[in-house]
Amino acid sequence: MKRKYLLSLTLIVLIFLVACTSGTEQPNQLEKHSEQNKQGIELPATDRAGNEISIPEEINRIISMSPGNTELLIELGFKDKIIATDTYSAHLVPEGTPLFDMMTPDAEQMVALEPDIIFATGMSMAGGTDPYKPIKDMGICVAYIPASDSIESIYEDIMFFANSLKVPEKGREIVDNMKSKIKEFQKIGETIKDKKTVYFEISAAPYIYSFGNGVFLNEMIEIIGAENILADHSMWISVSEETVISADPDVIITNVDYLDDPVAEIKSRPGWQNIKALKNNNVYRVENDVTSHSNHKIIEGLKQMAEAVYPDIYQYEN
């Protein structure tokens, strides 16, 4: 339990640091930075961090270094091409698949696996150094995908993967399906006049973290027709208990996954008992993966959030 808590907290802090240092702008891979290959399919010439890359014409051996990347590769139909992953992706791949530390990957062991491409996370650069430089110096393609801050950027991430793997049609299918479902949520959300206020917690006490505007989760709250109590703040933020108590949210959502019962932990906090969300028993837990990984799974995250905030309006069969 303690180890899982520390690992999860480390990831939260890293997300915060990367968001503050790397900015929110990413190259638009849907429109530019591409080169034409022999089959007439455009291959991106830069990764999602803006680095120039040379993607191999044929990709059969992939190393994926974040669970969000791994989930998307599987959705695109490339599970059988994944030869190694980060430790957080272990549950997504067959037992015995080589695993690497997300922050300090073993370059020598990676090279020995002879990957065609490595899809890395922007969090690996949080320390200011590039742990993949020795690998890139050996001619292996390393594509960085920083965590996206907006839903539009998530679409672009998906198309970057799809174009890199020469399956643009599958990428467009995923994106179009996401857009269609989001429109359904928006259509309902726009009819809600008495909007509930929401506090969404991504890290529990004593290191409480949440987010303001400029984060895709804030967009998701607005899409379902609610209001984030921290919308006047920007990006990922450390939150004081006094701020939440003063805001008196109608609903509290948590996606904390390193506690057995994060809802009970919130309800047990001194001074929180008079918050409307607690008095009305409107404190809910949603799955972490579908509300923290910036990929196609946010649609399931929207569903869970909508049902938590407006159970009488959004009703779906499980």
- List the alpha helices (DSSP H) in the chain: 2-22, 67-75, 107-112, 133-137, 151-164, 168-189, 216-223, 241-247, 262-267, 276-279, 289-292, 298-309
The pLDDT assigned to 72 comes to 98
- The answer to whether position 180 is within a domain reads no
Q: Please state which of the ranges 35-44, 95-104, 247-256, 290-299 shows the lowest mean pLDDT.
A: 35-44
122 and 236 share one domain:
no
13 and 157 share one domain:
yes
124 and 7 share one domain:
yes
209 and 284 share one domain:
yes
Query: How does pLDDT run across 74-98, given as a tens digit for each residue?
Result: 999 999 999 999 999 999 999 999 9
Q: Residue 123's pLDDT band (boundaries 50, 70, 90)?
A: confident
- The answer to whether position 175 is within a domain reads no
Q: Which CATH number do you get for residue 283? A: 3.40.50.1980
119 and 224 share one domain:
no
The pLDDT assigned to 218 comes to 98
- Over residues 158-186, mean pLDDT: 98
Q: Is the pLDDT of residue 5 over 80?
A: no
Number of domains in the chain: 2
Place of tokens 């047990």: 268
The pLDDT assigned to 39 comes to 52
Q: Indicate if the alpha-carbon torsion angle 150, 314, 198, 258 is positive or negative.
A: negative
39 and 139 share one domain:
yes
The pLDDT assigned to 41 comes to 74
Distance between CA 91 and CA 42 in Å, rounded?
32
Q: Is the pLDDT of residue 186 over 70?
A: yes
Percent of the chain clearing pLDDT 90 (strictly above): 81
Distance between CA 64 and CA 72 in Å, rounded?
10
Q: Is the pLDDT of residue 22 over 50?
A: no
- The answer to whether position 58 is within a domain reads yes
- Contact (Cβ atoms closer than 8 angstroms) between residue 168 and residue 140: no
- The answer to whether position 130 is within a domain reads yes
- The domain in which residue 50 lies consists of 2-166
Q: Residue 256's pLDDT band (boundaries 50, 70, 90)?
A: very high
93 and 25 share one domain:
yes
More confident residue, 146 or 128: 146
Distance between CA 309 and CA 251 in Å, rounded?
6
Q: Residue 315's pLDDT band (boundaries 50, 70, 90)?
A: confident
Query: How does pLDDT run across 208-250, given as a tens digit for each residue?
Result: 999 999 999 999 999 999 999 999 999 999 999 999 999 999 9
The pLDDT assigned to 42 comes to 81
Q: Is the pLDDT of residue 12 over 70?
A: no
Could you tell me the two tokens for 237?
Answer: 């933020």
Q: Is the pLDDT of residue 126 over 50?
A: yes
Q: Is the pLDDT of residue 20 over 50?
A: no
pTM of the model: 0.86
Peptide bond into 311 cis (omega under 30): no
114 and 80 share one domain:
yes
The pLDDT assigned to 29 comes to 44
Q: Residue 17's pLDDT band (boundaries 50, 70, 90)?
A: very low
- The answer to whether position 174 is within a domain reads no
- The answer to whether position 46 is within a domain reads yes
